[in-house]
Amino acid sequence: MIYVVEDDKAIRNLVLYALSEKDYQVKGFEDGLDIVELVRKESVDLLILDVMLPEKDGLEILKEIREFSSIPIIMLTARDGEYDKVMGLESGADDYITKPFSILELISRVKAVLRRSEKKDREHLNYGSIEINIKKEL
């Protein structure tokens, strides 16, 4: 499941449509108020997150999620300054895409991030609080 947190309805709908056309399961949110708890409780494969959201800043959400989860997160934002990009990546984003953006590039980046995530998942087995690094143990 891919969650898309974007306050601009047109952009959110475009991203949801494009990803669903590529057979991804997607769900959209217009703000980030409940997203941290949803990520904590539900199985999320990827989060696409805007920075400038009403009520709660995307970077703040990113930092909160990184306290308990390593799910892939792609920032999708109009903040295109070098400092903004560095802050996003240093705060734990796996990728940072600036608006305006190419929908084809976004889809390619989603595929790449998920590919890396799947590889990492295959190297670890988790059961409750026990984690086994398969690669290391073999």
Give the domain CATH number at 38: 3.40.50.2300
Phi, psi (deg, nearest 5) at residue 58:
-60, -35
Residue 40 lies in a domain: yes
pTM of the model: 0.85
Q: What distance in Å separates the CA atoms of residue 106 and residue 74, rounded to the nearest whole number?
A: 9
Asked if residue 138 is part of any domain, the answer here is no
Quote the domain boundaries for residue 12: 2-133
**78 inside domain:** yes
In a domain, 75, yes or no: yes
pLDDT confidence bin for 125, thresholds 50/70/90: low
Residue 52 lies in a domain: yes
Which two structure tokens, joined as six digits, stand for 14?
A: 């475009």
């940072």: which residue's tokens?
96
Dihedrals phi, psi of 134, to nearest 5 degrees:
-60, -45
Structural domains in the chain (count): 1
The pLDDT score that the predictor gives to residue 24 is: 98
